[in-house]
Amino acid sequence: MSARKRVVTKNDEQTAVDIIVPFSYRVWKFGIKKRNLTNIAKSINNALNRKKEKLAAERITNGLSTSYTHQGISQNSTIAITGGDSLEPFTTAHTREDGGTNMNNVVYDGTTYSLPFDYAGYKAADRTASLFVDPRGNPMSATMDTLLCKKGSSVAHKAREILGAIKKGKISESNDNDGSALPAFKMIENEFLTQDAYWAMFDSSTALSDEYGFQHIESEANNLDPVNVVYKTREMQFGGHTMFQQGHNDVARSWLFSAGDSSST
What ranges do the domains of the chain cover? 2-258
Contact 80, 239 (CB under 8 A): no
Alpha-carbon separation of residue 172 from 107, 146, 181 (angstroms): 19, 18, 11
Judge whether residue 11 has pLDDT over 60. no
45 — pLDDT class (breaks 50, 70, 90): very high
The amino acid occupying position 209 is S
HSE, side-chain direction, 13 A CA sphere, residue 261: 8
Q: Among residues 99, 122, 238, which one has the least CA distance to residue 173? A: 122
- Residue 73 predicted with pLDDT over 90: no
Other CB atoms within 10 A of residue 33 CB: 6
Pick the closest to residue 122 from 78, 166, 86, 153 (CA basis).
Answer: 166
pLDDT tens digits along 193-240: 999 999 999 999 999 988 899 999 999 999 999 999 999 999 989 999
Pairing of strands 146-150, 186-190: parallel
Half-sphere exposure of 253 (CA within 13 A, CB side): 20
Helical H runs in the chain? 25-30, 37-61, 119-130, 154-167, 204-207
The amino acid at residue 204 is S
Query: Where residue 34 falls among pLDDT bands split at 50, 70, 90?
Result: low
Specify the pLDDT at position 84: 85
Q: Do residues 179 and 133 make contact, with C-beta atoms less than 8 angstroms apart?
A: no
Residue 65 has pLDDT above 90, yes or no: yes
| Helix, strand or coil, per DSSP, at residue 140 | coil
Helices then strands (H, E): number in the chain? 5, 11
List C-alpha distances in Å: 34 to 1, 24, 41, 211, 235: 19, 11, 11, 44, 13
Q: Is 60 exceeded by the pLDDT of residue 10? A: no
Q: How far apart are CA 102 and CA 137, in angstroms?
A: 10
39 against 185, higher pLDDT? 185
Residue 178: the pLDDT is 73
205 φ, ψ (degrees, to nearest 5): -75, -20
Give the predicted TM-score (pTM) of the model: 0.85
64-73, 91-100, 102-111, 177-186, range with the lowest pLDDT: 177-186
Cβ atoms of 63 and 90 within 8 Å: the answer is: yes
What confidence category does residue 106 fall into, taking pLDDT thresholds of 50, 70 and 90? very high
